[in-house]
Amino acid sequence: MNKIDKIQALNKLEAKMAKDKKLPLLEFNLVFGEGNPDADVLFIGEAPGKTEDELKRPFVGRAGKLLNKMIESIGWQRSDVYITNIVKRRPPENRDPSPKEIESYKPYLKEQIEIINPKIIAPVGRFAMNYFLPLAKISHNQGKLFLINGYFIYPIFHPAAAMRATKMMTEFKKSFKNLPNTIKKNKSKK
Would you say 133 and 119 are in contact if contact means Cβ atoms under 8 Å apart?
A: no
pLDDT in tens, 129-155: 999 999 999 999 999 999 999 999 999
- Report pLDDT digits (tens) over 151-181: 999 999 999 999 999 999 999 999 999 999 9
Q: Which domain holds residue 52?
A: 3-189
C-alpha 123/C-alpha 63 separation (Å) is: 14
CA 72 – CA 165 distance, rounded (Å)? 21
Tally the domains of the chain: 1
* DSSP letters for 58-86: SS-SHHHHHHHHHHHHTT--GGGSEEEES
- CA dihedral defined by 100, 105, 106, 108, rounded to 10 degrees? 170
pTM summary value: 0.96
Contact 52, 58 (CB under 8 A): yes
Choice among 24-28, 94-98, 163-167, 183-187 with the minimum mean pLDDT: 183-187
Q: CATH number for the domain including 61?
A: 3.40.470.10
How many other C-beta atoms can be found within 10 angstroms of the C-beta atom of residue 127?
20
Helix (H, G, I), strand (E, B) or coil at 179: helix
Question: Closest Cα partner for 161 from 45, 55, 53, 79?
Answer: 45
